Structure 1
């Protein structure tokens, strides 16, 4: 079973070990991030493989609503560092019991996330193309008026 360290991220701090961040405030609490933000925890691991496993496990826990159970606060909900740590540990523990099956699920989620990023990139390019087409249309209309 891989070990990890979960701490509160301090702005401007850099980490040498493999790491990722977990959002701790708002309705997306528990969402794993590659880049830090002011309201996040940092998860450091010994290996890149452990980091990837924990990253995707955290994503699965967040999407599955397992972090949402621990949200506190009435205006801006948040998750405590202990609740986040315990949820990740429970997820890893269940991961250890069915390692091969869980690894297949993590790999599938990883592939889906990559495809999702590719599709988001295509959507962004289509939005730029749409704006260019509309601008060209109005440019043609203005030249006909002049």
Structure 2
């Protein structure tokens, strides 16, 4: 079984193991991050492949707004580390049993993410061309 550790991130701490961060406050809670932020948990792994598989699990749970059901607090919603640990470990065990399906989903999501990045680049080029065309009116 793949081992990982979940703990509250303390700003300024550096991690030598493979890791990523999970935002734990606000309506974007559960969002996996590669860079640290003050309100996050850190997940540490023994291997890069384990970290990557769990990153995509976290990404899928965040994208589907899975963590919203665990939010507490009236002004700035957040979720507790115990709730997160329990649910994330449960979902982690599930992907171990259905690993082939998980890999197919991850590959599909990577392809979609690449297509989305291409679309964003295309839209940026279109926006820049529009600005160049409209700049004629300033001269």
Bin of the TM-score, shorter chain as denominator length: 0.7 to 0.9
The aligned residue for residue 43 of structure 2 is 43
The aligned residue for residue 18 of structure 1 is 18
The aligned residue for residue 3 of structure 1 is 3
Q: TM-score, normalised by structure 1?
A: 0.84
**Larger-gyration structure (1/2):** 1
Q: CA deviation at 1:125?
A: 3.9
Going from structure 1 to structure 2, the CA distance change for 1:121 and 1:24 (only over 3 Å counts) comes to: farther
Q: CA deviation at 1:111?
A: 2.5
Going from structure 1 to structure 2, the CA distance change for 1:103 and 1:38 (only over 3 Å counts) comes to: same
SS in 1 for 2:7: strand
In the TM superposition, structure 1's runs of 4+ consecutive aligned residues that sit over 4 Å from their partners are none
The aligned residue for residue 108 of structure 2 is 108
The aligned residue for residue 136 of structure 2 is 137
Across the aligned residues of Structure 1 and Structure 2, the Cα RMSD in angstroms comes to 1.8
Taking the TM superposition and a 5 Å limit, the aligned residue runs for 1:92-131 are 92-131=92-131
SS in 2 for 1:67: helix
Q: TM-score, normalised by structure 2?
A: 0.88
5+ long unaligned stretches in structure 2: none
- C-alpha distance in structure 2 between counterparts of 1:46 and 1:65, whole Å: 27
SS in 1 for 2:104: helix
5+ long unaligned stretches in structure 1: 141-146
Going from structure 1 to structure 2, the CA distance change for 1:124 and 1:82 (only over 3 Å counts) comes to: farther
Q: Is the 8 A contact 1:56 1:110 kept in 2?
A: no
The aligned residue for residue 88 of structure 2 is 88
